[in-house]
Structure 1
Amino acid sequence: MVRTMLSAALVAASLAAPAQAQDLGDIVGGVAREYLSQEQDRAAFEQAQSRNTLRGYQSYLQQFPNGRYSEQARDQIERLGGGTTANRNDPYQGGTSGLTRQQRINIQRQLNALGYSTNGADGNFGPGTRRAVALWQRDRGYSQTGSLSTAQANEILRGTGTASRTSGSAAGVGVAGAEDDIGLSRSQRAAIQAALTRRGYDTRGIDGSFGRGTRGAIASWQQANGMQATGYLTAAQADSLLR
């Protein structure tokens, strides 16, 4: 095939006005580069097909967003539950296409609170958020796609305690903000970590900083005591642990 393409380039060059050798070399080189690009495109898509996973097709689109097989890749992503036809321009949209901007911001804030840095919380799921999502998925035994399924998005949003629009004056106030309102000092946070550790919930350190380990310990403690496992403390819960 490449020989045919090169021959065509040579014929075109011979029919044109006399060209410099450098011009002919540029033509041949351009054809060769185009052929190489097409071969790389084809090989990447075949690799995605062999894997036949959401992440595999997303990886192909990341390399060749307008490639020869991009529409087929998007169709496969949709078939695997990774997006909708309305969101074909964002192969990483995953099951989050129906989320509001505030819900996306809440997801980013929760990931940051759990120790997965998203490099900002602006509602835009860029590379930083995708890495954070993949790490969160890894730690929970999910496939590391970097894209949230609807169930995973809801799992994180439940952790933020995002309030319903019908909840009156409390609308939009999550449990993360409610915990901030308690105004726990660093020493009180350290005491809570110590209390959780004594109860068998490892906070991965007692330093007065509520990172991923502490959030996980709080959630486990809440679940074991029949509470909503948000990973954030209400005033009553904090008082219980500080006694």
Structure 2
Amino acid sequence: MVRRMISAALAATLLSAPVQAQDVGEIVGGIARQYLEQEQDRAAFSQAQQTNTLSAYQSYLRQFPKGAYAEQARERVRRLGGTVSTPNTQAGAASLTADQRVAVQRRLNALGYSTNGLDGNFGPGTRRAISLWQRDRNYPQTGALTRAQATEILQGRAPAAGGSSSNAGAGSGGSAAQAEAVLNLSREQRRAVQAGLTRRGFDTRGVDGSFGRGTRNAIAAWQQANDLTATGYLTANQFERLTSR
């Protein structure tokens, strides 16, 4: 369905104005990101509806303050007795340069949190990635970075195996995270790692290609069981071991 919508939008764009061949890739990428963000918006609101709690609708609004269903979510918040507020999702990173914003997005993607682009624009995709990153480190899920959180991401500090952030051992954790980032694992490769851990009895809380807290804990537990340093991050050799049958 999405593919047909993208094809139709692309055809309309190409017919409306002549474009150079090298521009087609950018057009396709932009259209794909747009539909992906719309789908994430829809899925997030659907999840909020299923939960139907004040906190669920507030969480949706933090991620999609200008989403297609934002007004409906605000109305539900009011009916449930909550206060409607629209946070400035750029506030926490207001002091970041454009290059630093791109670097934050690149680091989030390397850690398994897709931002749907590396353009320095903290749109819905990046806000959702930030929110998931915050969740896995027991921070409030605001979808907006504080300066300290932006620094944590840019410096590559890793959370402790239990999932919370810690200054102790941050240097070694950061090195492990950076070493894994160099592997540039695709979503399919991440799924293969999660499947390998699951087969070995280490629960990753899902095989979705996203290395959240469940997967990090599973990696650390597997490393410890194999007399390896329990960083929660993979080396190239460990990736090969987990994905081999």
TM-score scaled by length of structure 1? 0.39
TM-score scaled by length of structure 2? 0.39
Bigger relative contact order, structure 1 or 2 (CA pairs below 8 A, ≥6 apart):
2
Higher-Rg member (1/2): 1
